[in-house]
């Protein structure tokens, strides 16, 4: 299979793409892969580091208010479509996949106009602008939340789940907690606001310390590197003995099998990982994302009784501590939420999508 993948800007678009590439290579080791992104997005580092051939095109997103900058955006889009067509003619892919972000808009659109089989994947419960636009041109659309079907032509939609889940489902405990001064095989809460951290989650966590100290569980509090010094200053000498504070955890997914509960945002990749592993969670959706999609993501797990949710406006030390204690001091609730989380997720999405791509290629040769 000659597969061209495009997606970028955030890890939520990139990591599902990498999971899909991994599955394609396992099924067809002789496959040729090319990833197209931007030079500014996270993909510019993550994809080459993964050993995947990588090319860039220049593009930017539309402003949501009337702006002269949108005229430049249209110009760059049309120019990037021409660039994408050149890349497509050179690589000659059998199929093209878009996983979100502005860059895949130009690439997938160009492929569709050239008659190349196309597939897009939507990770969130509310579709992004790019995927809504592309849905009119592509052959098939994969979704991770059933709620997303209303955003697309129903005849093209296939529920696949998030490919990222397939990469983490088989992970086993690695005894890494001891690296952070914690005890292996002890109930552990991971508090994590994303790769850069989340200011309000960090502040609420520090406020919660008086209510969490001396509990029969431990806490790994990851602040994000940019917030670490300020948080350490806030804590001073008052850090509870059962709390470890770290700026960043390399290879975060590898520590998840040792975690009993996660407090964090509700990005699509995070939810794919915690449902694959069946980890109970307390979700604090970011109110700063497009279409408030993290709240919709979180609500899908809350409705499945697989997670609890605290709106950021309601987040403080007392509300956070009360929710953590509710989960961590009730073994039956933890077990029920874990089972429901596993039911809410999927662990074969990458294989499903690989099968869809194979069928699209076969259909195009008829």
Judge whether 226 lies within some domain. Answer: yes
281: which strand partners?
Answer: 262, 307
Specify whether 185 is located in the same domain as 283. yes
Specify whether 238 is located in the same domain as 110. no
Question: Is 294 annotated among the ligand-binding residues?
Answer: yes
Angle, CA 124 vertex, CA 116 and CA 163 arms, to 5°: 60
Specify whether 295 is located in the same domain as 338. yes
264: which strand partners?
Answer: 192, 283
Specify whether 251 is located in the same domain as 305. yes
Question: Is 338 annotated among the ligand-binding residues?
Answer: no
Would you state the pLDDT for residue 66? 47
What is the DSSP secondary structure assignment for residue 188, as one 8-state letter? E
3-state secondary structure of 6: strand
Judge whether 209 lies within some domain. Answer: yes
Alpha carbon distance 36, 47 (integer Å): 9
Residuewise pLDDT in 10s, the chain (366 residues): 999 999 988 888 999 999 999 999 999 999 999 999 998 888 999 999 999 999 999 875 544 444 555 556 677 778 889 999 999 999 999 999 999 988 999 999 999 999 999 999 999 999 988 999 999 999 999 999 999 999 999 999 999 999 999 989 988 888 899 999 999 889 999 999 977 789 999 999 999 999 998 899 999 999 998 899 999 999 988 788 999 999 999 888 889 999 999 999 999 999 999 999 999 999 999 998 888 999 999 999 999 999 999 999 999 999 999 999 999 999 999 999 999 999 998 899 999 999 999 999 999 988
Question: Is 195 annotated among the ligand-binding residues?
Answer: yes
80: which strand partners?
Answer: none
Nearest to 314 by CA among 271, 283, 288: 283
Contact of 164 with 256, CB cutoff 8 Å: no
What is the DSSP secondary structure assignment for residue 193, as one 8-state letter? -
Question: Is 124 annotated among the ligand-binding residues?
Answer: yes
Judge whether 310 lies within some domain. Answer: yes
Contact of 176 with 188, CB cutoff 8 Å: no
With helix as H, strand as E and coil as C, how does 208-219 read? Answer: HHHHHCCCCCEE
Specify whether 7 is located in the same domain as 62. yes
Contact of 101 with 127, CB cutoff 8 Å: no
Alpha carbon distance 1, 23 (integer Å): 12
Question: Is 11 annotated among the ligand-binding residues?
Answer: yes
**If residue 122 lies in a helix (H) or strand (E), which one and from where to where?**
strand 118-122
Distances (CA, A) of 4 to 159, 215, 320: 22, 51, 44
Q: Catalogue the E-assigned strands of 176-255.
A: 188-192, 218-222, 243-246
Specify whether 133 is located in the same domain as 189. no
What is the DSSP secondary structure assignment for residue 50, as one 8-state letter? T
Q: Within 13 A of 312's CA, how many CA atoms are on the CB side? A: 18
Would you state the pLDDT for residue 325? 96
Alpha carbon distance 3, 134 (integer Å): 18
Specify whether 335 is located in the same domain as 360. no
Specify whether 189 is located in the same domain as 333. yes
CB atoms within 10 A of CB 87: 19
Judge whether 143 lies within some domain. Answer: yes
Q: Which two tokens stand for residue 187?
A: 């109930």
CB atoms within 10 A of CB 263: 26
Question: Is 332 annotated among the ligand-binding residues?
Answer: no
Q: What CATH number has the domain bearing residue 131? A: 3.40.50.2000
Would you state the pLDDT for residue 312? 96
SS3 helix, strand, coil % of the chain, rounded to 5? 50, 15, 35
Q: How many structural domains is the chain composed of?
A: 2
Would you state the pLDDT for residue 213? 87
3-state secondary structure of 100: coil
Would you state the pLDDT for residue 217? 96
Specify whether 10 is located in the same domain as 29. yes
Residue holding tokens 């099998």?
A: 257
Specify whether 94 is located in the same domain as 202. no
Question: Is 7 annotated among the ligand-binding residues?
Answer: no
Would you state the pLDDT for residue 75? 73
Alpha carbon distance 147, 297 (integer Å): 9
Would you state the pLDDT for residue 366? 81
Specify whether 114 is located in the same domain as 220. no
Alpha carbon distance 39, 247 (integer Å): 27
Alpha carbon distance 27, 19 (integer Å): 13
Would you state the pLDDT for residue 63? 47
Judge whether 172 lies within some domain. Answer: no
Q: Find the domain containing 271 and state its range.
A: 177-344
Instruction: Give the percent of the chain with pLDDT over 90.
Output: 78
Specify whether 248 is located in the same domain as 149. no
Would you state the pLDDT for residue 322? 97
């Amino acid at each position: 299979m000659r597969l061209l993948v495009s997606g970028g800007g955030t890890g939520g678009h990139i990591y599902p793409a990498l999971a899909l590439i991994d599955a394609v290579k396992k099924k067809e080791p002789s496959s040729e892969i090319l990833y197209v992104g931007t030079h500014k997005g996270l993909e510019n580092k993550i994809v080459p580091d993964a050993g995947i051939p990588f090319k860039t095109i220049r593009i930017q997103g539309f402003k949501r208010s009337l702006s002269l900058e949108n005229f430049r955006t249209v110009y760059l889009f049309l120019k990037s479509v021409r660039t994408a067509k050149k890349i497509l003619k050179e690589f000659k892919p059998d199929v093209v996949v878009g996983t979100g972000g502005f860059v895949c808009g130009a690439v997938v659109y160009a492929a569709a106009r050239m008659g190349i089989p196309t597939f897009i994947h939507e990770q969130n419960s509310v579709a992004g602008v790019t995927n809504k636009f592309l849905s009119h041109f592509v052959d098939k659309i994969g979704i991770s939340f059933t709620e997303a079907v209303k955003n697309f032509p129903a005849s093209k939609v296939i529920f696949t789940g998030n490919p990222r889940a397939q990469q983490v489902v088989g992970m086993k405990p690695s005894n890494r907690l001891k690296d952070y001064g914690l005890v292996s095989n002890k109930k552990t809460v991971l508090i994590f606001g994303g790769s850069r951290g989340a200011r309000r989650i960090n502040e609420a966590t520090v406020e919660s310390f008086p209510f969490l100290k001396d509990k029969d569980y431990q806490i790994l509090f990851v602040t994000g590197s940019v917030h670490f010094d300020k948080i350490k200053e806030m804590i001073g000498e008052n850090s509870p003995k059962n709390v470890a504070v770290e700026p960043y955890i390399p290879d975060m997914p590898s520590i998840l099998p040792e975690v009993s509960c996660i407090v964090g945002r509700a990005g699509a990749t995070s939810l794919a990982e915690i449902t694959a592993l069946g980890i109970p969670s307390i979700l604090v959706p970011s109110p700063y994302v497009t279409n408030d999609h993290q709240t919709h993501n979180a609500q899908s797990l809350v409705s499945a009784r697989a997670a609890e949710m605290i709106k950021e406006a309601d987040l403080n030390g007392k509300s956070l501590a009360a929710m953590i204690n509710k989960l961590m001091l009730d073994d039956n609730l933890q077990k029920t939420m874990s089972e429901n989380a596993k039911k809410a997720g999927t662990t074969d999405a990458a294989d499903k999508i690989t099968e869809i791509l194979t069928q699209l290629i076969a259909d195009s040769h008829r």
